[in-house]
Copies of this chain bind each other. A is one copy, B any other.
Amino acid sequence: MQFLRTSDADFPKKFDRVVRDRRESDAQVGRDVATMINEVRERGDSALVEYTTRFDGHHLTRDSDWQIPLKDCRAAYEALDSDLRDALELAASRIRAYHEGQLPSDRDYTDDIGMRLGARWRPVDAAGLYVPGGRAAYPSSLLMNAIPARVAGVERLVVTTPTPKGEVNPLVLAAAHIAGVDEIWRVGGAQAVAALAYGTKRIGKVDVIAGPGNAWVAEAKRQLYGVVGIDMVAGPSEILVIADGNNNPDWIAADLLSQAEHDPTSQSILITDSENLARQVEDAVDITLMKLPTAKTAKASWDTHGLIVLVDSLDEAPALSDRLAAEHVELMVDEPQSLFDAMRHAGSVFLGRHTPEAVGDYIAGPNHVLPTGRRARFASGLSVLDFMKRTSFIDASEAALAAIGPAAIKLAEAEGLPAHALSISTRLK
């Protein structure tokens, strides 16, 4: 953990180093992934069989090795402890309600020269959702990815997920049942992303691929962007807690560790104007780590990437926060609105002492798939718009074309595009 003070002379240089540190994958991952994508594109299912045996120890032999039937999802759902089932249903209904409010409106109007103009939104035909296996198999991720696609109106919703040594996660299957997934393929890694993008004999291709994954999965999505749509380029996640001195250090420590326990490359940052709180939080982190089952990961993250920045005044916080453009920003003060108003770049903001980031991970309603690694400067969290696209349209009456056609002809001629000009002038004769 690094401790910086904005009043120190070398603060700008040190903070700059934090901002530039990408914590991301290397060129070797890029080359490996390019090879895997090519193999799947060229050899289809047989490449999937080989990679799945090699990386997951799962043999894709019979049909039942390839797909998890939807009735298994229903069975997993029905076998759930009722508290857990209720929690998943509550999460799903709140996520659904929030995302329904994102559905865009079409435009269709006629302007002052009598030209009809507009734009029409439609869902993509098919979406693929990557669901990690093993430690990072989260039912909450499935809900957060699948529900926006369903709300968008996507007809075919395909999940791919690795099942190491054949193992499946019943919670994920139950979530798939709740979200109404159409197909679940037991394939993971970059090879699954390639199969979704290009299609194989067994797995029909999709138009958009969303969902979290390790560095290989993220790199495969990045390389295939353009062949398909993708949700975003994802990297290790981060939390920034902005807190005044009037906080319970245990609460803040838990919030910082809730990010750190995800992955050793996660980053947790505290900005505070209270040296006292800063020291108390440091201690609370150490104490909490002693009893935390995920302490190994959380400690690795906190030790390597953890940061406390002591500011003279919280007025300095929004500018620092904008430079970090963090995935999650907590404003742990009594009146968070003014800090929020002063901020420009963040994935999601958690206002006030009773809004820990984890409430947003599961159940508040907004999406927990958010831009990481400073990408909140230009990117947004996952939404129904990621599963839709817009078609603009123009309908010119004869009179409207006569009104503005001559100007278009002038411009086409100036650009040296005579057929463009002709396509208008021939109609104005």
User: Measuring CB to CB, which residues of chain A are less than 8 angstroms from any residue of chain B?
Assistant: 83-84, 86-88, 90-91, 94, 97-98, 101-102, 107, 111, 115-117, 119, 122, 124-125, 135, 138-140, 171, 207-208, 222, 225-226, 228-229, 232-233, 248, 250-251, 254-255, 257-258, 260-262, 288, 292-294, 298, 336, 340, 343-367, 370-371, 375-381, 383, 385, 389-398, 400-401, 404-408, 410-412, 414-424, 426-427
The contact of A408 among B262, B359, B378, B385, by CB within 8 Å, is B359
The contact of A359 among B356, B370, B381, B424, by CB within 8 Å, is B424
Inter-chain contact B344/A125, CB cutoff 8 Å: yes
The contact of A378 among B115, B207, B345, by CB within 8 Å, is B207
Inter-chain contact A228/B392, CB cutoff 8 Å: no
Q: By CB atoms of chain B within 10 A, which of A229, A298, A398 has the most? A: A229
Given contacts A292-B418, A364-B394, could you give 5 more A-B pairs where the C-beta distance is less than 8 Å?
A228-B378, A229-B378, A349-B393, A351-B394, A358-B421
Inter-chain contact A90/B222, CB cutoff 8 Å: no
Inter-chain contact A86/B407, CB cutoff 8 Å: yes
Closest to A386 in B: B378
Inter-chain contact B411/A87, CB cutoff 8 Å: yes
Known A116-B351, A423-B356: A84·B414 in contact at CB below 8 Å: yes
Residues of B within 8 A of A87 (CB): 406-408, 410-411, 414
Distance of A50 from chain B, by nearest CB (Å) = 23
Distance of A373 from chain B, by nearest CB (Å) = 8
Residues of B within 8 A of A360 (CB): 392, 394
- CB pairs A–B below 8 angstroms (13 shown): A87-B407, A87-B411, A140-B415, A208-B378, A222-B225, A251-B427, A254-B426, A294-B416, A345-B391, A346-B391, A349-B393, A364-B396, A371-B389
Q: By CB atoms of chain B within 10 A, which of A88, A346, A394 has the most? A: A394
